[in-house]
Each structure stands twice: as C-alpha cells, then as structure tokens.
Amino acid sequence: MRKPRVGAVLGWLVCAVLFLVQVQAARAYDENVVEFKGTVFVADNDASGKVSAVSILDPAGEEFFVVNDEVGSQLLSLVDKNVKVSGVINVAPDGKKWVKVKKFAIYAS
C-alpha cells in the first residue's frame, strides 16, 4: 500500500481550513445584521439638485448613512418616509455610522 504524499495531504488540509474560514465569515456577517426603524432624509444632492445620498434617523436621534449600492439606492426615492431596515452597520474612522441595507420595508408611522 502506498503512503499519501505530504504535498497532497497538506493541500487537502489547506483547502479544509479555507473552507472553514469562509463558513465562519459568512456566519459572522449574518450575526451582525440588525433591524431598526427610522425616517429617510436627504444626506446629499448632485449638481442638478437630485438626491444622491440618504441617511436614516432612528427614533433615538442616531443617524445612519445608507451605502449607495443596489438595495440602498432604492431608498433615494423614499425621502421623508418611515422605513424598517435590516442591514449591517459599520462605523467609519470619522465616527459616521453607515448601514449596508439588506432589505427594507415602508411602514406607517
């Protein structure tokens, strides 16, 4: 019977470790998802006056700037609407809180 080569065993071990790291990263991402309610406000306008960035102000007065991606950009048309947001919050070095919105819903106040 032939012994497995060290290189092959090492390769499989590296693959297993990388897989576990990816699973843990995905789990951590899901665990950091928060839900909160707030009102959408204009954070910035472009040169023509069109809304180019929004933030959400929660009932406690905390402001969360919305990451302008595929989902977040949908909030640009919801200024002054109340929304329930599910997303991941990150704090920038300047102290601004940013939310990467995963999903949202409009709700009546």
Q: What is the pLDDT of residue 86?
A: 95
pLDDT at 27 over 70: no
Q: 40-43: list long-range contacts, CB under 8 Å, 24+ apart.
A: 40/66, 40/75, 40/78, 40/79, 40/80, 40/81, 40/82, 40/83, 41/79, 41/80, 42/79
pTM of this structure: 0.71
* Each residue's pLDDT tens digit, 40-63: 999 999 999 999 999 999 999 999
Tell me the pLDDT tens digit for each residue of 96-107.
999 999 999 999
SS (H, E, C) 1-31: CCCCCHHHHHHHHHHHHHHHHHHHHHHHHHH
